[in-house]
Amino acid sequence: MNRPKLFALAVLAALAFGAQSAAAKVITVDDDNADCRKADFNTIQAAVTAAGAGDTIKVCAGVYTEQVTVPAGKNGLMLRSHTPLAAVIKAPAVMADPKAIVRVSGAQDVTIYAFTITGPGGGPCNTLQYGVRVDGGGSATISHNHITQIRDNPFGGCQNGNAIQVGRQSEGQTGKATIVKNTIDFYQKSGIVVDGAGSGAEIRDNTITGIGPTAVIAQNGVQVSRGATASVLNNEISRNQFAPATFASAGVLVFQVNGGVLVEHNTVSNNDESLYLIDSSALVVRHNKISGSTFDGIGLDTVLGSTVSHNFSEGNGFDGIWVGATSSGNTITNNQMEENADHDAHDDSAGTGTGGSANTWEKNHCGSLNPENKPGLCDQNN
């Protein structure tokens, strides 16, 4: 007896869903009305202002010199370049705070797809802070973009110029993002930063390339910090190097984090410290391929209760894996380390663990003539 009523409710639900879907629209943007017919707007911000939740903004080829902000209430909005990378969002010479080219502020589930997002800023210091920034509790998928030249002009030593910023503890801002298959290069300070408790990101399949050896600024490829969470997966991260070696740049920097960070299956090469973990606990670092670091392949500095396993670390200037004196309770297992200039495996801590250290080392393979600074860190040596 209840089946007709249930069927009627299902039909009403389907009709309501269909009506909601039909309400979403596609808005076209063309800077000069030459690349797309019947463009609705000439600027991206005008289209965002006019759009409703769930709409798609299709941006035709051209250079759009503007700041774009997606505010709260624009949930599910999709911004996409009609031709991949042909729609260029360029930083104006003078930018409004927080000096982001594209900002998602409070809106949920926004998509930014296949744009070129580029600087440089208009002057020598603090003229361009971010390529893309997610804040105000907002969330975004940032995918298949080329984010480049997020820097001052000329390239300088001021601590700004992050290609992607998710949350910012010092401003009480949080955000969440999925950051996938982007090319990120020529940034000033950092490629990707996820910062502050309540902020989180999945960072996957990106190519992140620093400027190379420079005496101007110490860069970081990926930074996860101050209580943020992140999965850093399958990225290629390289060329974050400070020269002379008086400061250290990092391929992946994790600091002041208590759990919720996974660093896995990344290829990290030619950085000062390829994976540098500091003042953190309960991290998981596994299956990464690391080479050519100025200093250590993997460094643990005041790290507690973390797992470092199945990594390959070779040809680094100091140690394949280095563990500092104040790190304890870590499990370092099934790693392969070879041809590192100082030691393959090095542990400065003291305790009841392996070789008199405060950590457990098991089933590690070392290939150097001088493999370890304490006995037992390497189970197998060449």
Give the whole-angstrom CA distance, residue 67 versus residue 101. Answer: 5
Q: What is the mean pLDDT of residues 69-84?
A: 98
Q: What is the mean pLDDT of residues 161-178?
A: 98
The CB density around residue 5, as the number of other CB atoms within 10 Å, is: 9
Task: Indicate whether 193 pLDDT > 90.
Answer: yes
What pLDDT does residue 23 have?
78
What's the count of helices (H) and strands (E) in the chain, helices before strands?
Answer: 2, 37
Residue pointed to by tokens 């997610």: 134
* Residue 73 exposure: Cα atoms within 13 Å on the Cβ side: 7
Q: Are 99 and 129 in contact (CB under 8 A)?
A: yes
Give the whole-angstrom CA distance, residue 240 versus residue 219. Answer: 5
What pLDDT does residue 19 have?
41
Name the residue among 263, 189, 187 with its Cα closest to residue 224: 263
Q: Are 128 and 159 in contact (CB under 8 A)?
A: no
What pLDDT does residue 35 have?
78
pLDDT tens digits, 50-66: 999 999 999 999 999 99
For the purposes of burial, counting CB atoms within 10 Å of the CB of 154, is it exposed (0-12), middle (13-18) or buried (19 or more)? exposed
What pLDDT does residue 11 have?
34
What is the percent of the chain where pLDDT is above 90? 89
Q: In this structure, which CATH number among 2.160.20, 3.30.70, 3.30.780, 2.60.120 belongs to the domain 24-271? A: 2.160.20
Q: What is the mean pLDDT of residues 185-206?
A: 98
Domain positions in the chain are 24-271
Task: Indicate whether 7 pLDDT > 90.
Answer: no
Q: Are 345 and 369 in contact (CB under 8 A)?
A: no
Give the whole-angstrom CA distance, residue 192 versus residue 206. Answer: 10
pLDDT tens digits, 12-48: 333 443 444 447 899 999 998 787 878 999 999 999 9
Query: Rg of the chain's alpha carbons, rounded to an integer?
Result: 24
What pLDDT does residue 382 have?
58
